[in-house]
Structures are given as structure tokens and as C-alpha cells.
Structure 1
Amino acid sequence: MSPEDYCYNFAAPPGSDFRYSLLGLPLKRRQALLALKAFCLETAQIVSECQDAGVARVKLDWWQAEVGRLFAGEPQHPVTRALRGPLADFNLPEEYFREILDGITMDLDYDAYPNFSGLMVYLHRRGSVPALLAAEILGYQDRRATPRFAHEAGIALILFDFLYDARRHAQCGRLYWPEEEMERYGIKASDLLAPQTTERLRQLFAFQAERIRHHYAQSLTHLPTMDRYTQYHLLIRLDLAKALLEEIAEDGYRLLEQRTSLPPLRKLWLAWRLRRREKLHRRRLPVVA
């Protein structure tokens, strides 16, 4: 199996949102995004799969060394071997990959955060940095506004993951909602392990959903018209998350009893419609001499 096939099978399984967000992308960009996603997944699962924190730190140290080998042109892992080409094609900075690893290390150092400000470093490393790398792969013209879009988009996407997988994260002993917000709604971490969504939990979930909507809206305000089509991969991921969020809200945020999902055909339709819309908008843009 080639490194590219490894990343495709690992990062974009059938029915995944990520798979639909690759619709119509040129091969080089698609393979680069798959390798980036595989890097994020491969390294993130270290913490969830290693019961021993010491073993997890040893593995993360290996990945820190592997990033060094990658940028020296001597990667060993299939994921980093798949990343070797994109580094040259898209000028991806080494410090971004190290920041992602630093974010994963935070999962070993912290199991809760006192307030939202304290969580922001983690959100930047695990949410914004991968989105910034994706934006570089996709390409853009506005060097100020579009990175701001990617920053906010990454936060929206990882906050959605926190909400959608709240019970799984709690089972792993990690709490990604600020303690002050949990206290405000009278929620303990153990409440997230019960297969029942109480009214207080529903209020907490609704509060988190509003924060996701806020960052979703903020991301769009930063994205300039000239870069909308090139960034449609991130826009599709945002739209699929937003559509699922509204389904969850309509269902009363019953995240602990069931796993709500969008049908594959609806995902395909949403992805195709968004790409087509942005393509038509690009054609209407004035030609710059």
C-alpha cells in the first residue's frame, strides 16, 4: 500500500464528512489534505489509545523526532512520507506541525480548563492550526483575511467535535468545556457518562451550540470573495457540521442517548451544491488586469 493510499483509507472512510469535502479538488491538493488529516488523526489517537501516560509521551516524542526527519527529507511513517511532497508544493511550515503535537501533549497535561480563555491555546493548536495548514494547501490571495477565516473555521470545527463526542471524551477522562460553565449549569463530568440528557445538560449543550454558531459566522465574515472558491473544502466541512448541529438541536440535543448523523446522499448534495455555488460566484467576479 502506498503512503497516499494509507492516508486515504485512514483519513477519509466511506461516509465521512472529510471525504465529501474533497469533492472536485485537484489530485495534489486532495492528497496533501488527506496526508494532513491523517497526521492529525494518527497523532491524536495516541492519547486515547495509550492507558499509560508515560507510553503516550514516548510516542509523542517519537512524532516530534519524525517531524524533524520529515523536514530533513527522511520520513519513516507512511503519513509523513505522504507529506513529503506537499511540504515542497505548498510551503507548509514546520512549526505548525509541532504546534499540533504540542496541542496533543496538552491532553496529557490537562484534563479540564477553568475558563474559556484557558482553553483558547488548545483550540488554536488542535483546531486553528490544522485549518491554517489546509488553507495553505488550498491556496488564497488575501494574506490577512483568509488566515483569519481559517483560524475561526478551525475553532468552530473542533468545538463541534467537543459537542458531538462529549460522552466519548468524558469516557476518556477529558473535559473540553470550561469548569466555570459546567458549574453555571450544575453539571459534573460524571453526568456526561449517563445515557440520559437532563434539562440542565440540554441547556449546557445549547450554550455550546451557540458558541459554535458564533465562530461559524465569524469565520465567514473574514473570508474575502476572491478566496471563497479556493477555500470550498473548509466551507463544505463547516456547512456539514452546521447542518448536523441543527439536526441535533431539533432533536433536543439528545447526544447521550443516540448518535445523530446526516444521510450520505444529503452530505453529497450539500457538498456538491456549495461547490457549484462558489464556482458560479467565482465566474461572476471581475477580471483583474
Structure 2
Amino acid sequence: LPRADQPHVHALYGLCRYADEIVDAPDRGSIAERAAALDALRARFDRDLAAGRSDHPVLAAVVDTVQQLSIDPELLRRFFASMRMDLSVSGYRTHAELERYMDGSAAVIGELMLPVLRPPDPDAARDGARALGVAFQLTNFLRDVDEDLDRGRVYLPLEDLERFGADPRRRVADAPWRAFSRFQIDRIRGIYREADAGIELLPSRSASVIRAARVLYSGILDRIEAADHDVFSARARIATPIKVAVVGRELVRRTPSNTAGRVTPRSSPRPLPAER
């Protein structure tokens, strides 16, 4: 991304990480204490935004980004609401319930990034941006189920697990778990395909960056399949040389001469290079 836009990405990422640490870090105290700290952060954001400035080590950059890019503060409030759910909700009965959580934890991140990515028609690109945020998070949920169990949470729809007779608490990639994992991967790939249409609406420079992230993240699903859906023994990862190759490939494929500021449409992103 252009150098001038990078601090805005850093500001939004910093807020997400800081809120995550409040919710998940064991040294942050009891659930009640962590809830109070998160509520205080949200209240401080509202006060500092109203004041037009902040001296908070994280919120100073966030307030500046919100003001410079004219971001709707309600997007950040939806984010805080979902982070608050992590302190009281340990599972989700249906995919629709999980989607309500992901509205503020994932879809809203796509919306927050739109002013940074500068699509010619933000309204047209919004659904794709939301879908990509959701696809990224669902990929995380499947890859990190073992870590989330350690925190007492399961971000997988209970009704779908029951349909296949799968129980992640067994931490074994048995036949029911593999059947569920295949189903979930198909669902996530469908959401990535929804997101692809939005990527094509971005300016060439932004599209190349986001497409690289999309290819790398969706590649985690390939790694899960290659491990026969065993997400309990080891974390699915993309090797650094593969990351470098994908980023380089997408940068080379930029089409800045497109006068509409759009990338050349392509049916689907190219897959990851093979690992050696």
C-alpha cells in the first residue's frame, strides 16, 4: 500500500491486537476485570474522538485514522461489542449466531479497511470486503480450534458439529471430525469466492495487496486438507518462501494502466505455489 496509508493499517491492527490482549491475556485478571478494562477502552475511544485527539498509546493513532479517513465510529463500536461477547459467550449454536458475532469481529474489519483501500465505489465494494473479513476469521477458527479450546471457546457451529457427530473437545482428527472439516472448508471457500468480486472493484495497487492476502489465507485450508484435517497435532502454516513468492507474483501482475483504477477481472486467484 502507499506509504501514506500504512499508518492507518497499523492503527487499526494495533487496536485489534490490544483489544484481543485485554480479552485473552491471562495476566489481565478476572473476567469481570477484563470486561471493565474493555469497557473503559471503548469509553475512552468515544471521549477522545469527541475531543478530536488522544494521548492514549493505542487510541491516539486510531482517533487520527478515524478523523482523517472519515470512518463511521459506529464500526468501532460494533467491534468492541463483539470483543465483549468473548468474555461471556463460549460457543454458538448455529452459523447464523456465529455470523452475528463475526459482524463486529471480522466483517467490520473489512468495512474499516475500505477507506484505506480507496475503491472508486465503496458501496459496491462493501459486501466483498465484509465477506473477506468473515472468510479470514472462519479460516482462523478452523485452524486454531485447539488454541480456542484452551481458552474455553469453540467458534464452530454446534449444530453442524452434531450433524457429523464431531466433537473438537476430543482433539482427535477422527472420521466425524474430518467430515465436519470438509463441510466447513467448502463453506469457507464459498465465502472467499463471494469476496473475490469485491477485490476486483479495488484500485490495482490495493487489489494486488488484498489478493495476495486472500491467496495466502485461503491456502491455510489447503494445508489443513494436506494434514488430513488434523488441526490438533500442529498448526497449519504457510512457509515464508511461499509468502514471498505470492506477494511478488501479485505485485508483478498489477495493472496500473487501467484508467478506471480497477484490476483486470480474473475468474479466481491463482493457487499457492507448491511447497518443496
Specify the alignment match of 1:100 in structure 2.
79
Matches within 5 A, 1:1-289: 25-49=1-25, 50=28, 52-71=30-49, 72-191=51-170, 194=171, 196-225=172-201, 227-277=203-253, 279-280=254-255, 282-285=256-259
Worse-matched range after superposition: 228-237 or 88-97: 228-237
Distance 2:194 2:166 in 1: 28
Listed one character per residue, the Cα deviations across residues 173-202 of structure 1 (whole Å, up to 9, x for unaligned) are 1111111011112123522xx3x3212112
CA gap of 1:132–1:77, structure 2 versus 1, over 3 A, is: same
What percent of counterpart residues are identical?
23
CA gap of 1:75–1:284, structure 2 versus 1, over 3 A, is: closer
After TM superposition, give the deviation of residue 130 of structure 1 in Å: 1.0
After TM superposition, give the deviation of residue 287 of structure 1 in Å: 8.4
Query: Is contact 2:91–2:158 with CA below 8 Å preserved after alignment?
Result: yes
Distance 1:124 1:69 in 2: 24
- Number of corresponding residues: 259
Query: Is contact 2:12–2:62 with CA below 8 Å preserved after alignment?
Result: yes
After TM superposition, give the deviation of residue 243 of structure 1 in Å: 1.7
Q: Please list every run of 5 or more consecutive structure 1 residues that lacks an aligned counterpart in the other structure.
A: 1-24
After TM superposition, give the deviation of residue 68 of structure 1 in Å: 1.2
Distance 1:252 1:275 in 2: 32
Q: Please list every run of 5 or more consecutive structure 2 residues that lacks an aligned counterpart in the other structure.
A: 263-276
Specify the alignment match of 1:3 in structure 2.
none
Query: Is contact 1:43–1:60 with CA below 8 Å preserved after alignment?
Result: yes
The structure whose RCO (Cα within 8 Å, separation 6+) is larger is 1
Which aligned segments of 4 or more residues in structure 1 are displaced greater than 6 angstroms?
none
Worse-matched range after superposition: 108-117 or 147-156: 108-117
Listed one character per residue, the Cα deviations across residues 135-161 of structure 1 (whole Å, up to 9, x for unaligned) are 211211113221111011011011011
Q: TM-score, normalised by structure 1?
A: 0.83
Distance 2:39 2:133 in 1: 25
Aligned-residue Cα RMSD (Å) equals 2.0
Q: TM-score, normalised by structure 2?
A: 0.87
Distance 1:98 1:232 in 2: 30
Q: Which amino acid aligns with 2:46?
A: G
CA gap of 1:218–1:286, structure 2 versus 1, over 3 A, is: closer
Distance 1:248 1:116 in 2: 21
Q: Which amino acid aligns with 1:243?
A: G
